[in-house]
Amino acid sequence: MTVPSEIIKTAPYACDGVTVDFSFSWGVWETSEVKVILRLASDGTETVLAETTHYSVTLATATPSAGYITTVATYSALYEIVIKADFPNTQEVDYGEGDKFPAASHEEALDRGVRIVQQVNEKLSRAILFPETTTLEDIELPEISATVANFFLGVNSAGSAIAWGEPVDLGNLTAHDTGHRETIHQNMLADLVADTNTSSPGLALVASAAEVAAGNEATKTVSPSGLAAVFQYDTIQVPAGSLRPAVANAGTQGIQEYAADPNSATTTRDYVELGGSLCGDESVAYDFTMILPDNWDQATLKAKAIWMATYDAALTSGASVAIGFQTKAYNSGSPITVNWSTPPVYVLDAVSNVATDIEEETVASANISSSVAGSINRMDIRVTRKNTVTGAEVDPIWLTQLLFQYKKTNQVTGW
């Protein structure tokens, strides 16, 4: 055969969680002459996959031939697959004196030699090179050691070699400067010292998101991105008294006084009851309507449920409680654009406090976002309970309040 193409590497194949077959177009003699790399698309992290363990290779009967790999697992859209030639740097053809000329094996040896050269060229194509007309030769990189941690590569003062350069912080500019710019640097430092003086604000340092959150940096300014990074979420509280029993499977709603002497109690707690495992899944449900602000991001709505044991029975430590959320969204024309989301989004919690008079059980947040096209701020939400989970709590619980968190992303005008 001949080697008419220089291609020995595929472009990255985008994974989709379904596809397992990926082809390559150059000829190989053995399945071991293929290298498969799994690449994390977000940052380029590479993992070399192993034949048989992670993939198999299919070739035509007559080799060399192109072919395809079949991965053992499917990979999500977070990943990419790259296939490369991986020919060994060896030459195994041996001619005996007086033997007939072995044309086929001779041509294979020539083809393998070309493929090895192509592999070297592929590596060189990823290297940093000087221009072709350069007169520089034998340029070496300096050694790496702990003493040059966080240093950068640069050209030495003589312009003759690559050397490590030491980072210089702003406070040391004058010490490191040996030219006529010293006065300028001194003025810069003076301005920084005076940056809290309102009459001479000088150079402004930007506070990090952590410093903005701490609120203890009086001498730094806040950027829009730093402000948004800290104050980008809002929370809406919905007490149990705001929930309404669903029409089809209405539950119990009540108010519980809690004090040593109920007759003199002045504090009450709203609650709605969610039945235990003897009641089956979604035996009761409660609905409410929530109007979200104009600047909410529909993809970021999360819910958190606050619940407790009833006053009638203690709960079983370690038992499972699954609380579910369903949503309806409205579009600008007012009709409901979707039915209740099916199945509900469930969040699983475990009983850690069995007492009947202390409210401490909190369900982890669940993403119940709605991205219905054209939907507006109004959303109906239903809360229910699933009782067929493993180790489900037998007794009912009281749901006392709900918290909804959303991200603010859209700039809106005032009313």
What's the CATH number where 335 sits? Answer: 2.60.120.260
Q: What are the residues whose beta carbons fall under 8 Å from the beta carbon of 184, sequence distance 6 or more?
A: none
* Edge-to-edge strand list for the sheet holding 13-14: 13-14, 79-85, 34-40, 46-48
> Global pTM?
0.46
The per-residue pLDDT for range 116-125, each reduced to its tens digit, is 999 999 999 9
Residue 138 lies in a domain: no
Task: Report the DSSP beta bridge partners of residue 161.
Answer: none
Range with lowest mean pLDDT among 107-111, 306-310, 330-334, 346-350: 330-334
pLDDT(142) > 80: yes
Bridge-based pairing state of the strands 345-350 and 320-331 = antiparallel
- In this structure, are residues 130 and 139 in contact, taking their beta carbons and an 8 Å threshold? yes
133 assigned to some structural domain: no
- Which is nearest to 246 in space by CA: 372, 376, 381, 339? 381
Q: Is the pLDDT of residue 374 over 60?
A: no
Query: Which one-letter amino acid corresponds to residue 322?
Result: A
pLDDT at residue 276, rounded to an integer: 76
Give the mean pLDDT of 327-346: 59
Q: How far apart are CA 293 and CA 369, in angstroms?
A: 14
108-122 average pLDDT score: 91
Q: Which residue has the higher pLDDT, 128 or 257?
A: 128
Selected residue with higher pLDDT from 374 and 382:
382
For residue 97, pLDDT over 70 is answered with yes
Higher-confidence residue: 253 or 46?
A: 46
Output the pLDDT for position 175: 52
Tell me which residue has tokens 């919905």: 238
The reply to whether 88 and 193 lie within a common domain is no
Residue 179 lies in a domain: no
Q: Report, as an integer, the average pLDDT of 92-111.
A: 85
**Among 147-151, 211-215, 279-283, which is the least confidently predicted range?**
279-283
Asked if 241 and 346 sit in the same domain, the reply is: yes
The answer to the question of residue 192 being in a domain is yes
Same domain, 277 and 402: yes
Q: Which residue has the higher pLDDT, 336 or 311?
A: 311
What CA–CA distance (Å, rounded) separates 112 from 89?
A: 9
The arithmetic mean of pLDDT across residues 217-245, rounded, is 79
Quick one: 76 and 114 in the same domain? yes
Indicate whether 254 and 378 sit together in one domain. Answer: yes
Task: Give buried/exposed letters for 184-209 (b at 16+ CB in 10 A, else e).
Answer: ebeebbeeeeeeeeeeeebeeeebbe
Which has more pLDDT, 332 or 276?
Answer: 276
Of residues 42 and 215, which shows the higher confidence score?
Answer: 42
Q: What is the pLDDT of residue 334?
A: 42
Residues 26 and 71 in one domain: yes
Per-residue pLDDT band at 333 (split at 50, 70, 90): very low
Q: What is the pLDDT of residue 263?
A: 56
The structural domain count of the chain equals 3
On whether residue 162 sits in a domain, the answer given is no
Residue 172 included in any domain: no
Residues 239 and 372 in one domain: yes
Q: Write out the E strands in 72-199.
A: 79-85, 152-155, 162-165
Looking at the structure, tell me whether residues 204 and 311 fall in a common domain: no
pLDDT of residue 181: 54
Of the candidates 224, 240, 227, 246, the one whose C-alpha atom is nearest the C-alpha of residue 398 is 240
Shared domain check, 247 and 220: no
Lowest mean pLDDT of 4-13, 19-28, 48-57, 312-321, name the range.
Answer: 312-321
At residue 99, the pLDDT reads 82
127 or 73, which is more confident: 73
- How many Cβ atoms from other residues are within 10 Å of residue 45's Cβ? 10
Q: Are residues 191 and 259 in the same domain?
A: no
Is 265's pLDDT higher than 60?
A: no
**Is 161 part of a structural domain of the chain?**
no
Residue 183 has what pLDDT? 60
Q: What is the dihedral of CA 325, 326, 331, 335, to 10 degrees?
A: -140
Q: Are residues 70 and 115 in the same domain?
A: yes
Q: What is the mean pLDDT of residues 294-313?
A: 78
Q: Which residues constitute the domain of residue 18?
A: 13-92+104-124
Q: Could you read off the pLDDT of 157-186 as tens digits, one per residue?
A: 888 889 998 876 544 544 545 554 556 555
Give CA–CA dist 85/50, Å, rounded.
14
Start-to-end CA span in the chain (Å): 77
Q: Would you say residue 204 lies in a domain?
A: yes
Considering the domain architecture, whether residues 294 and 362 belong to the same structural domain is answered as yes
Q: Tell which of 230, 248, 266 closes a domain.
A: 230
Lowest mean pLDDT among 16-20, 88-92, 295-299: 295-299
Q: Is the pLDDT of residue 408 over 60?
A: yes
361 — pLDDT class (breaks 50, 70, 90): very low
Instruction: State the chain's mean pLDDT as an integer.
Output: 79
